[in-house]
Amino acid sequence: MTKILYYVISMVAIILVLPLLIVGGFVKSDFNRDFSIKAVPAEKDDIVINVYMTDTGEVVQMELEEYLQGVVAAEMPAEFELEALKAQAVASRTYAYYRIVNSNIDKSHAGANVCTDFTHCQAWKCLDEAVLKWDKNKALKNMDKIKKAVTDTRNIIIKYEGEVIDPVFHSNSGGRTENSRDVWDGGEFPYLKSVISQGEDKSPAYENTIVITPDDFVATLQDEFPELEVDKDDLKNELSIIDYTEGQRVKTLRVGNIKISGVDFRKIFELKSANFEFEMPEDNIIKITAYGNGHGVGMSQWGANHLAQTGSGYEKILKHYYQNVELSTIP
């Protein structure tokens, strides 16, 4: 009887546990395949970058090319075309290298070259964690694609008249990118000029609308501009757009007795872009619809993907969004 019981327990163990070990072992070994990104000790000739981790406050030193894999994974959907991912890799490498060679450019993150906050520098995420969050059927393919985008462009950077550029980029321009000078005071860069950017309406974030009451609208503005005088019952006449930038964004608008720049208005109402319009379908409702996502300067990621889908390689994509530049390699 004891023997039979022992036999039954053994069979149950084999039937239930063995498949788990096999499947678990397969998944583990497959998912452990060369995903390393965390603070790999640098080789003697490697270029290293100090990265300020915005969520923890620590500074981690990484090899530049390893860092870039985490940037491309965080900055661009892995489903995008390989040539778009390569354009992102080169833009992000140039962005990082510009901050390595100009180490005094920013003192705001504990002396590190870059941080992981996409609103300040460029996004980065640990590739191990990215893999676990992706759909399991696509995770390995995504990983290989991102690594390929970085390794196929190894050491390649963008230069203008022999100097490394500051290649800012954004998610979606809404159809036309912006002159740098129209977004940032003193931001006159000859390679950051407004250009047409097609195919961006494929993005689910292309159009964003907020709805606000006249009371909240005026109160929000009065927090920023205490001198504001406006008749909130007559906003149809009190609110108007005065002029537009070359990139088709609102340059200046008037509310009551004050003028506000489109860039400031975007910040105050946390709009996705300064390419916006108003609608007042009813007396107590203001609809503000913004097109695109981001500051609009430099490369549009959705535009880059559209160019890749229509046959452009990464060099052509970069030269579309950054004017009169050359590709070069890190010495």
Provide, rounded to whole angstroms, the least separation between the CB of residue 165 and Zn ion: 18
Stretch that binds Zn ion, among 22-30, 108-116, 161-169, 285-293 (CB under 5 A): 108-116
User: Footprint of Zn ion on residues 13-42 (CB under 5 A)?
Assistant: none
Helix H or strand E encompassing 64: helix 64-75
Provide, rounded to whole angstroms, the least separation between the CB of residue 57 and Zn ion: 13
Identify the CA nearest to 264 among candidates 228, 298, 305.
228
Residue number, 31 or 184, with CB nearest to Zn ion: 184
> What is the spatial distance between Cα 96 and Cα 12, in angstroms, rounded to a whole number?
56
How many CA atoms lie within 13 Å of 331's alpha carbon, on the beta-carbon side? 5
Provide, rounded to whole angstroms, the least separation between the CB of residue 119 and Zn ion: 9
Provide, rounded to whole angstroms, the least separation between the CB of residue 114 and Zn ion: 6
Residue number, 72 or 115, with CB nearest to Zn ion: 115
With a CB cutoff of 8 Å and minimum separation 6, the contacts of 27 are none
Joined together, the tokens standing for residue 215 give 């009371």
Residue number, 94 or 203, with CB nearest to Zn ion: 94
Per-residue contact string for residues 207-246; x = within reach of Zn ion by CB under 5 A: ----------------------------------------
User: Footprint of Zn ion on residues 111-150 (CB under 5 A)?
Assistant: 115, 120-121
Stretch that binds Zn ion, among 107-115, 147-155, 184-192, 255-263 (CB under 5 A): 107-115
Provide, rounded to whole angstroms, the least separation between the CB of residue 99 and Zn ion: 9
Residue number, 124 or 276, with CB nearest to Zn ion: 124
Residue number, 118 or 244, with CB nearest to Zn ion: 118
Residue number, 119 or 151, with CB nearest to Zn ion: 119
DSSP states of 217-252:
HHHHHHHH-TT----GGGHHHHEEEEEE-TTSSEEE
Size of the site for Zn ion (CB under 5 A): 3
Provide, rounded to whole angstroms, the least separation between the CB of residue 112 and Zn ion: 8
Provide, rounded to whole angstroms, the least separation between the CB of residue 127 and Zn ion: 20
Helix axes 64-75, 136-151, angle to 10 degrees: 130
Residue number, 105 or 268, with CB nearest to Zn ion: 105
Residue number, 120 or 287, with CB nearest to Zn ion: 120
Identify the CA nearest to 297 among candidates 275, 321, 314, 281.
321
Joined together, the tokens standing for residue 222 give 């009065």
| CB-CB neighbours of 267 under 10 Å | 12
Provide, rounded to whole angstroms, the least separation between the CB of residue 254 and Zn ion: 34
Dmax over CA atoms of the chain, in Å, equals: 96
Strands in the chain per DSSP E:
48-52, 59-63, 114-115, 156-160, 163-164, 169-170, 207-212, 239-244, 250-255, 258-261, 276-279, 286-291, 299-300, 326-329
Provide, rounded to whole angstroms, the least separation between the CB of residue 55 and Zn ion: 13
Torsion of CA 171, 177, 183, 184, to 10 degrees: 80
Stretch that binds Zn ion, among 110-118, 204-212, 233-241, 314-322 (CB under 5 A): 110-118
Joined together, the tokens standing for residue 211 give 């709805």
Q: What letter does residue 173 receive in the DSSP assignment? A: -
Residue number, 46 or 117, with CB nearest to Zn ion: 117
Binding site for Zn ion (CB under 5 A): 115, 120-121
